[in-house]
Amino acid sequence: MTNKALATTLIALLAVLPAGQALAQTAPAKAAGMTVVSGEPKATKTAAAAARKAPTKVNEDARHCLDLGTTAEIVKCAEPYRY
C-alpha cells in the first residue's frame, strides 16, 4: 500500500469513527414486557437457604474418621469437613 492510499484510508476511518460513537451513545431500548417496580425487594430463595444452612465443619479436625474400617466409611465421615 502506498503512503497516499494509507492516508486516504486513515482519513476515511477517522471520518466514520465519530458517527459510530454517536450511534453507540443512544439509549438502549427497553425490552418488551419489563416494568419498573419500586418498593422493597422480596427475599430470594438463596438468601433464605443461606440463613437456614448449618455451619460448616471446615476448621474442625476429621482425623477420627481414619479409625473407621472401610474406605467408603472414611469418605462418608470426612465429607462434611471438606467444604
Predicted pLDDT of residue 68: 94
Q: Taking phi first (over 0 means left), then psi (-120 to 50 degrees means alpha), and beta for anything else, what does residue 51 get?
A: alpha
Q: What is the pLDDT of residues 32-74, one digit of tens each?
A: 666 666 666 665 666 666 666 666 676 788 899 999 999 999 9
Structure pTM? 0.34
More confident residue, 9 or 52: 9
**Can you read off the three cell numbers belonging to residue 76?**
462418608
More confident residue, 22 or 73: 73
Torsion angle, CA of 62/64/70/75, rounded to 10 degrees? -10
Residue 20, pLDDT > 60, answer: no
Long-range contacts for 74-82 (Cβ within 8 Å, ≥24 apart)?
80/56, 81/57, 82/58
Residue 3, pLDDT > 70, answer: yes
